[in-house]
Amino acid sequence: MGISGKEEKEFLPVVRQKRFAWIVSTILLAGYLSTASALTLYVDPETNQVYTTPGENRIKLGDFEPVKKAENMPAGKKPTEEEARVLETRIDQKMEELKAMEARFEAQQQAIQTASEQTQSVPVPDSTPENEKSASKEEKKWYDRIKIGGYTQFRQSAGLGGDLENLSSPGDKSIEEDTNFFIRRARLVFQGDISDHLKLYMQTEFAGGDVSVRDMYGDIYFDKKQEFRIRPGLSKVPNSFELLQSSRDRLAFERADALSTGVRNERDTGVFFYWTPEHIQERFSFLRKGLKGSGDYGVIGFGLYTGQGINERDKNDNLHIAARVTYPFQFDNGQIFETGVYGYTGKFVPDVAVNTDAGILAAPIFNKKGYRDARIGLHAILYPQPFGLQAEWNWGKSPQLSADMTRIESGNIDGGYVQAMYKYDSPWGALIPYVKWQKYSGAEKFQANAPFARVREIEAGLEWQIRPEVEFVVAYSHMDRTNVKNLVHVKDANIMRFQLQWNY
């Protein structure tokens, strides 16, 4: 901007000091006492010392014409009124000269500052040859955008009394007799936004001895805000809240039987449509950060899926239809309350087999085209800020083993759960005590012969989020449930469970 580095070095210290009062006094005193025709002054910006001769590190202030004493004025005589007016006029002139000098310095300082800002804002020209730029763009492949993560759950259970010999649950094999340390889940996730219109997601399970695929889908977005999308592949079915909530985030050790009996492992192969407004996307994301949200499965979600369960082929060429509507309301105090309705319908083909442990000596008769399989449910969640409540209930129809265990017929299902929790952010990490009560009466359609099961269970526990990557949970459970392997009903079983989870 026309200001050199040397000029900046010379002028800025003077302007920053702005101590002109003593300069004025020196000039006026020198002008009054001196008889010279002109006076040239210099200033050292580091010491603020004024000189009448040039030298190293001295800046010229200007030439000043001194005020001459009255001719033949006797020593000690005061100037006349006219001489005083002349002196006052000359003083005013010198003050104006100094003000002009200060204004010039400030203008130069502003010019230097403006030039510096413009220099910083001007982009540095890219001298990279065009062919090298193209090569750089080509080097960034789709897999460079993939992120890897996951979690592992390590458990140990201890029986406290009751009928532990026959205790069994389809959701948690760690509670069975003669079981000690147990890896319940070991997940590895690959995901990434390949573009503004495509996201890939794959999750594998390593627990249980065999590697299996839990998710394998692509989100295809219709708009850049990513409000509308379709999801073909193997994924969670839009059904319930707890089924969509990740086991990484859930408080209770397992999902309620009343819900998991509808969509075991929460997943199936199909294609789903989701719509989530942009501001609700942000709200769903916020709820996943410590408040136990389910993630973004749309304000509206619906679609078609095989209905036979995870990694199972279709058996009757009949698709299930599922739909879900939910909305997280946020109040003025920041509290968030989510509620919704969901349901599905289709035909399910059960597996039948001989089970001598249960007294089934011949495979039950069944309809190979399947049985009506339909549910409707409600969910409501007051997120823990710090107190929280969560509840779901569903009703419907399901294939079920007859009372005489000779055939499969259509039966009713009914059940749900209520859970209370409190989030306390302590200096040692978040602590979330909780209590959950669940009830279910209906078939376990994914078990061989779709046996009837009755569940009444209460669980009380504490989750300690030691660090973002490490959590520890301890819980007591009183269980009243049917063992669907041998059809023995356990009315009283008490256990303690411990789980260490690490996220990566």
CA–CA dist 326, 265 (Å, integer): 21
How does DSSP assign 62-103, residue by residue? EEEPPPPPPTTPPTTPPPPHHHHHHHHHHHHHHHHHHHHHHH
The answer to whether residue 28 scores a pLDDT higher than 90 is: no
- Within a domain: 136: no
Length of the chain: 504
What does each C-alpha distance from 398 to 121, 137, 207, 344, 370 come to in angstroms?
68, 54, 29, 12, 10
CATH number (domain holding residue 309) = 2.40.160.10
The answer to whether residue 68 scores a pLDDT higher than 70 is: no
Give just the sign of the alpha carbon dihedral 326, 381, 168, 456. Answer: negative
Residues 86 and 218 in one domain: no
User: What pLDDT is stored for residue 91 in this prediction?
Assistant: 67
The answer to whether residue 30 scores a pLDDT higher than 70 is: no
- Please tell me the least confidently modeled range out of 132-146, 209-223, 341-355, 444-458: 132-146
Name residue, tokens 């006349």.
80
| Stretch 404-408: mean pLDDT | 96
CA diameter of the chain: 144
Beta-carbon contacts of residue 5 (< 8 Å; ≥ 6 apart):
none
Percentage of the chain lying above the pLDDT 90 cut: 68
- Within a domain: 134: no
The answer to whether residue 467 scores a pLDDT higher than 70 is: yes
Q: Where among 80, 105, 121 does a domain terminate?
A: 121
User: What pLDDT is stored for residue 177 in this prediction?
Assistant: 82
Residues 254 and 111 in one domain: no
Two tokens at 388?
């929280």
Residues 107 and 170 in one domain: no
What's the domain count of the chain? 2
Name residue, tokens 């839009």.
238
Q: Where among 51, 86, 121 does a domain terminate?
A: 121
User: What pLDDT is stored for residue 124 in this prediction?
Assistant: 52
The answer to whether residue 69 scores a pLDDT higher than 50 is: no
The answer to whether residue 301 scores a pLDDT higher than 60 is: yes
Read off φ and ψ for residue 482, nearest 5 degrees: -90, 130
Residues 99 and 166 in one domain: no
Residues 109 and 170 in one domain: no
Two tokens at 143?
């897999």
Residues 357 and 422 in one domain: yes
Say which residue, 63 or 349, is predicted with more confidence.
349
Two tokens at 213?
């695929």
- Within a domain: 142: no
Name residue 77's amino acid. K
The answer to whether residue 110 scores a pLDDT higher than 80 is: no
- Please tell me the least confidently modeled range out of 132-141, 419-428, 474-483: 132-141
The answer to whether residue 150 scores a pLDDT higher than 90 is: yes
Domain that holds residue 219: 148-503
Give per-residue pLDDT as tens, 472-487.
999 999 999 999 999 9
- Within a domain: 129: no
The answer to whether residue 7 scores a pLDDT higher than 50 is: no
SS3 118: helix
Two tokens at 163?
């009928």
The answer to whether residue 135 scores a pLDDT higher than 60 is: no
Residues 102 and 166 in one domain: no
For 332-366, b where at least 16 C-beta lie within 10 A, e where not — what string?
eeeebbbbbebbbbbbbbbbbeebeebebeeebeb
Residues 490 and 404 in one domain: yes
**Quick one: which of 478, 247, 242 has its CA closest to 377?**
242
Two tokens at 396?
């419907």
**For residue 106, what pLDDT band results from cuts at 50, 70 and 90?**
confident
CB 396 within 8 A of CB 448: no
User: What pLDDT is stored for residue 134 in this prediction?
Assistant: 53
Residues 113 and 164 in one domain: no
Query: Mean pLDDT for the chain?
Result: 85
CB 346 within 8 A of CB 317: no
- Within a domain: 137: no
Percentage of the chain lying above the pLDDT 70 cut: 79
Two tokens at 350?
């059960």
CB 70 within 8 A of CB 35: no
Residues 106 and 178 in one domain: no
CB 250 within 8 A of CB 266: no
Q: Where among 70, 104, 121 does a domain terminate?
A: 121
| Stretch 29-34: mean pLDDT | 44
What does each C-alpha distance from 391 to 119, 240, 417, 460 come to in angstroms?
60, 10, 6, 16
Say which residue, 103 or 228, is predicted with more confidence.
228
**For residue 9, what pLDDT band results from cuts at 50, 70 and 90?**
very low
Alpha helices for 147-272 (secondary structure H) = 257-260
Give per-residue pLDDT as tens, 359-373.
999 999 999 999 999
User: What pLDDT is stored for residue 143 in this prediction?
Assistant: 81
Two tokens at 419?
């859970």
For 186-203, b where at least 16 C-beta lie within 10 A, e where not — what string?
bbbbbbbbeeeeebbbbb
Angle between helices 81-121 and 21-33 (to 10 degrees): 140
The answer to whether residue 327 scores a pLDDT higher than 80 is: yes
User: What pLDDT is stored for residue 146 in this prediction?
Assistant: 92
Q: Which of 12-21, 163-172, 396-405 is most confident?
A: 396-405
SS3 27: helix
- Within a domain: 127: no
Two tokens at 485?
């392997």
| Stretch 108-126: mean pLDDT | 62
User: What pLDDT is stored for residue 42 in this prediction?
Assistant: 73
**For residue 125, what pLDDT band results from cuts at 50, 70 and 90?**
low
What residues pair up with 328 in beta bridges, in sequence order?
A: 338
CA–CA dist 223, 157 (Å, integer): 48
Give per-residue pLDDT as tens, 161-192.
999 999 999 989 889 888 889 999 999 999 99
Say which residue, 33 or 303, is predicted with more confidence.
303
Peptide bond into 386 cis (omega under 30): yes
- Within a domain: 359: yes
pTM for the model:
0.72
CB 406 within 8 A of CB 365: yes
| Stretch 402-428: mean pLDDT | 97
Mark residue 460 as left, alpha or beta (left: phi above 0; alpha: psi -120 to 50; beta: remaining). beta
Beta-carbon contacts of residue 468 (< 8 Å; ≥ 6 apart):
503
CB 310 within 8 A of CB 267: yes
Residues 78 and 219 in one domain: no
User: What pLDDT is stored for residue 132 in this prediction?
Assistant: 54
CB 300 within 8 A of CB 274: yes
For the chain, report the end-to-end CA distance as a whole number of angstroms: 53
Residues 35 and 90 in one domain: yes
- Within a domain: 278: yes
CA–CA dist 202, 432 (Å, integer): 30
Name residue, tokens 């996220």.
503
User: What pLDDT is stored for residue 382 in this prediction?
Assistant: 98
User: What pLDDT is stored for residue 180 in this prediction?
Assistant: 85
